[in-house]
Amino acid sequence: MDDNKSVVTVPDGEQHIIAAAYHLVKALQASTSLSVEVRRSLADLDIHLAAMTGANEDETTSLREIEGRLKSAQVKILTLQSNSLKIWDAGPSQLLEYLQAVEEVRTITLSLESMVPNHNGKQNRLANQAHSVLQMAMAKLQEEVINILVQNKLCFGHDHVSFHSCEELVVDEESMVSTENDSVVGTSCRESSGAESEECTMVLVHPYVVPQIKSIANVMFASHYDQEFCQVFIRFWKDALHEYLRLFCMQQTSIEDVLRMDWACLNCRIKKWRQATKNVIEFYLPSEKNLFDQLLGEFGSVSSTSFIEASKDAILCLLNFGQAVAIGPLRPERLFCLLDMYELLRDLCQDVDALFCETHGNFINIEYHELLKNLGDSAKAIFLELGNHIASNTSTTPFYGGGVHPLTNQ
């Protein structure tokens, strides 16, 4: 387009002036007594005014079209929200239709933002209306995320990895404590065949809803409501992990409470701690991290930061209990429990490194390895003290050909 035909935006208050000038120029051009120079000037002015008038007409047409699209999308959104059921409960097709309407509103907001600001009252009104509808839809989508997760989260028993409904989940604390070999969730799913082994993984939600949750995430992220999505998603899985820990009767316990426990109670709690720690680190968290990566992996570091935020409280709860045990009194009866805890954490080091390898998860790695060191130091201290105690208690009974020291035979 030539420069003299470029589109010029006219402020709302000056439109009638431009229209009047345009008609006046047309009337002057009809005169037969004008010189060539005047006619040339009027022709240039005619082109310029026509461009300004045309721009105004084009903008009016565009706003009228946008208004129709916005009204249609808003009606669809309100209709789907008016149902007493949650949108997802009405079927995946209803959710898809809702997301398409929300995406249409988002596109409209972008179109309005891309238009040159001209203090047009209608343009501003439509922009405010679109943002209002979008905000309402985002709040509804937050509810839908929770609804989908609540209805499709899979629950796990303490003695197997296979999933079943939450209503069927029953935990027998006594049987958990009395297990001799401390078998844990998921270990029975490791089947070796030659050099290959198949590792059982936990499925946290029904797989068929993952694409639907991802569709919601995509729309919310594209609409700059990523923090709102992450907020509800993190909160749900944070609560779910604490619920999983309760299967092993693990809860937040202060260092003082641990130090006040009698040995029988503490020994029981340590067994539960070992079961919970192995299951959470080896099976639950890798599955949770995989789910976060499926849904948020394309958004850069959002996946890893959200995963760490959802899991850190439960992990620190386990580590704090371990630290309380590690700083406890150096008594001989605690030696083998400390060694069992140390060996468990040592075996899980690679899993922890893989889970929290990013910079923002490094503090968990540091806490973990500090606990590992403290458990080892405490076990060494008890062992040395026990050796010194045996050496200082010389038996009055001779051991011909060797025997068991009375101190260790009690």
Encode pLDDT of 233-278 as tens digits.
Answer: 999 999 999 999 998 888 888 888 888 888 889 899 999 999 999 9
- Per-residue confidence (pLDDT) for residue 178, from 0 to 100: 34
Whether the CB-CB separation of 404 and 397 falls below 8 Å is answered with no
**Sorting pLDDT into bands at 50, 70 and 90, what band is 306?**
very high
Helix 92-114 and helix 121-152, axial crossing angle in degrees, nearest 10: 150
Whether the CB-CB separation of 69 and 108 falls below 8 Å is answered with yes
Q: Which of 107, 101, 113 is nearest to 74 (CA)?
A: 101
Tokens of 33: 């007594």
Scanning 153-254, the segments in alpha helix (DSSP H) are 173-178, 210-222, 226-246
Tokens of 109: 């907001």
pLDDT 10s digits, 56-97:
555 666 888 888 999 999 999 999 988 767 888 888 889 999
79 vs 410: CA distance, rounded Å: 78
The pTM of the full predicted model, rounded to 2 decimals, is 0.73
Tokens of 113: 């933002």
Mean pLDDT is lowest, of 33-47, 49-63, 167-181, for 167-181
Residue type for 320, please? Answer: N
Does the pLDDT value for residue 119 go beyond 60?
A: no
Element (H, E) at 196: strand 196-198
Taking residues 112-117, report their average pLDDT: 76
203 vs 159: CA distance, rounded Å: 16
Whether the CB-CB separation of 103 and 132 falls below 8 Å is answered with no
Taking residues 203-224, report their average pLDDT: 94
Tokens of 114: 């891309």
Q: Which of helix, strand or coil describes residue 161?
A: coil
**Sorting pLDDT into bands at 50, 70 and 90, what band is 347?**
very high
For 408, which DSSP code? G
**Sorting pLDDT into bands at 50, 70 and 90, what band is 409?**
low
Whether the CB-CB separation of 197 and 187 falls below 8 Å is answered with no
Mean pLDDT for the chain?
Answer: 79
What φ, ψ does residue 193 adopt, rounded to 5°? -140, 100
112 vs 116: CA distance, rounded Å: 9
